Amino acid sequence: MVEADHEHGDYDRNRELKLLDETKAGVKGLVDAGLSKLPKIFVHDSHKVNDFSSSSSSSSSPATDVSIPVIDLGSLHEEGNSRHEIVQKVKDACEKWGFFQVVNHDIPQSVLDEMLDGLRRFHEQDVEVKKEFYSRDITKRVFYNTNFNFYTASEINWRDTLYCLLAPGPLDPHQLPSICRDITIEYSDQVKKLTLTLLELLSEALGLESSYLKDIDCGEGIFMVGHYYPPCPEPELTWGIGGHTDIGFVTILLQDQVGGLQVFHEDQWIDVTPIPGAFIINLGDMMQLITNDKFMSAMHRVVAQKVGPRVSVAYFLRQHVDDESPRMYGPIKELLTEDNPPIYKEMKMPDLVKLVYTTKLISSPLNHFRL
Ligand code: OGA
Ligand code: NI
């Protein structure tokens, strides 16, 4: 099958891709088949030189003495200065990191555990049932596949993903896989409330009215994805997800306790250590664009590992490719001054989404929208 030997030069990459795609069983299917060597389609370019020690930017061990900020939301509704303090911490985290974790967010642990478990069940269910959801039609509201940019990216990564476009527009719950349907609905209702709180805090951190970001529809598009990173036989040759920035305004990420997520900060990769019950919040390119670079969209990645599976859920605040009447976004006027003129042009978010979906690998898609 796709058991290609990555030591040898000549091979038909497209054929290998197609063979794997047609199994509809994803990376999980390869692992189930007992694969012990990585098919060449997964081998990352920077690793092909076979000198892992010298490729410092991609495989150096992460710094252990720094970590992304952790913000306690528990005192948000208490009297006194606590809201102001939280807003200050959010501002600081968004300016310096573009990444933080939140704890005491009011969503019960059981909802988080059941969501991760539901996704694990989806990916581990009978492959014949799972195959029904396999698709590369990105106009579908619910589907699963391995690597969204499978045929366009220069390398593919060691993970499978279930995708659900939750908003805008009503999602018929029957489109969701029955094995994780109820918890997906419960989880998305709960996380939606958290996103509204976050949009308020972010608006205030920018010195704007609390409702500003909500009023410009930053919470209107919701794309939720459930990743499954199977154990990898040769983890040093590939990625779980290669270095990238997220497209949308904000991402609310839930990871299990396996670890592997890293963020690029001040020239080094930093581990995002799992904290039980915490959400990871990171800003995407759209937030960087509308804040005119005041808030940063940070590069991050997930390493492939021998241990696994690792399960994570990303809840992206972003519109999708085929949004019917996309609104125009540009740097927020209230944030601009003579000394801080707009860096980006007015654009439509689906243009950014399309760019990321259809181009090989772009390290900084935002550059396409610079003035
Ligand atoms: C993503 C992402 C990280 C993770 O889906 O964009 O960065 O931990 N996921 O799965
Ligand atoms: Ni990401």
pLDDT tens-digit readout, 166-216: 999 889 999 999 999 999 999 999 999 999 999 999 999 999 999 999 999
Alpha carbon of 334 to ligand 2 centroid (Å): 28
Substitution site in 161, 253, 279 for ligand 1 pocket (most atoms within 8 Å of beta carbon): 253
- Residue 241's φ and ψ, nearest 5 degrees, are -150, 130
Half-sphere exposure of 304 (CA within 13 A, CB side): 24
- Ligand 1 atom at minimum distance from 301 CA: 7
The pLDDT value recorded for residue 208 is: 98
Mutate to test the pocket of ligand 1, among 261, 263, 283, 317 (most ligand atoms within 8 A of CB): 261
The pTM assigned to this predicted structure is 0.92
Give the mean model confidence (pLDDT) for residues 286-312.
97
Q: Indicate the helix (H) or strand (E) that contains 191.
A: helix 181-205
| Rounded CA separation 229/163 (Å) | 15
Provide the pLDDT for residue 357: 84
How far does the centroid of ligand 2 lie from the alpha carbon of residue 80, in Å? 35
CB neighbours (10 Å) of residue 6? 18
- Rounded to the nearest angstrom, the distance between the alpha carbon of 241 and the centre of ligand 1 is 7
Rounded to an integer, the average pLDDT of 289-293 is 98
Q: What is the pLDDT of residue 58?
A: 44
Q: Which of 126-140, 264-278, 335-349, 351-365 has the lowest mean pLDDT?
A: 351-365
Of the given ranges (41-50, 52-61, 354-363), which has the lowest mean pLDDT?
A: 52-61
Angle CA(165)–CA(166)–CA(170) in degrees, nearest 5?
115
Residue among 247, 297, 300 whose CB has most ligand 1 atoms within 8 A, to mutate: 300
- 171, two tokens: 């999602």
Quote the ligand 1 centre to 226 CA distance (angstroms). Answer: 9
Which one, of 56, 55, 52, 17, lies nearest residue 234 by Cα? 52
Residues with CB under 6 A from ligand 1: 225, 227, 241, 246, 253, 255, 261, 300, 302, 312, 314
CA distances from 163 to 45, 48, 317 (A): 27, 31, 14
- Across 142-168, average pLDDT: 93
CA atoms within 13 A on the CB side of 219: 20
Supply the pLDDT for residue 10: 61
| HSE toward the beta carbon, residue 83, CA cutoff 13 A | 13
The pLDDT score that the predictor gives to residue 4 is 46
